[in-house]
């Protein structure tokens, strides 16, 4: 299980990459492994405004439906449309090709952890 050092993490097992005012969201390796084979991703609409902590996407595995929560507030500016035809990318490359959405941040974030803090959180 990998936990890249250049990302921030939430207790709900989402990751966020912050570059300027743009934040890229996804779910962690731990999350995808716990969910199992992902067969469907419901993406947010571009232009939608989301609050920090709001459910902005849905990931469905073979057996379960899971909400995905936004680590930061903002307006959705891009979504990973590849996931519509290849949702399994969330399993195979959770931090890369499996990203879910990008938002232009408006300020608020929920409590974010560093890679070390997230690792400790997982071990607790």
List residues binding other proteins (CB under 8 A). Answer: 36-37, 39-40, 42, 58, 60, 62-63, 65, 84, 91
Q: Distance between terminal CA atoms of the chain?
A: 16
Tell the smallest beta-carbon distance from residue 13 to other proteins (Å).
17
17 - beta bridge partners? 24
Q: Which is nearer to other proteins, 1 or 62 (CB)?
A: 62
Phi, psi (deg, nearest 5) at residue 35: -75, -30
Tell the smallest beta-carbon distance from residue 65 to other proteins (Å).
6
Tell the smallest beta-carbon distance from residue 79 to other proteins (Å).
14
Alpha helical stretches, state H, 25-81: 29-35
């Amino acid at each position: 299980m990998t936990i890249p050092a250049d990302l921030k993490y939430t207790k709900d097992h989402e990751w966020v990459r912050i570059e300027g005012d743009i934040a890229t969201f996804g779910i962690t390796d731990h999350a995808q492994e716990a969910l199992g084979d992902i067969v469907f991703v419901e993406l947010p609409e571009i232009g939608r405004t989301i609050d920090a902590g709001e459910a902005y996407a849905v990931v469905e595995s073979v057996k379960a439906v899971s909400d995905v929560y936004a680590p930061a507030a903002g307006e959705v500016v891009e979504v990973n449309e590849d996931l519509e035809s290849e949702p399994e990318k969330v399993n195979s490359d959770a931090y890369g090709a499996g990203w879910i959405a990008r938002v232009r941040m408006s300020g608020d974030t929920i409590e974010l952890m560093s890679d070390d803090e997230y690792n400790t959180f997982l071990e607790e």
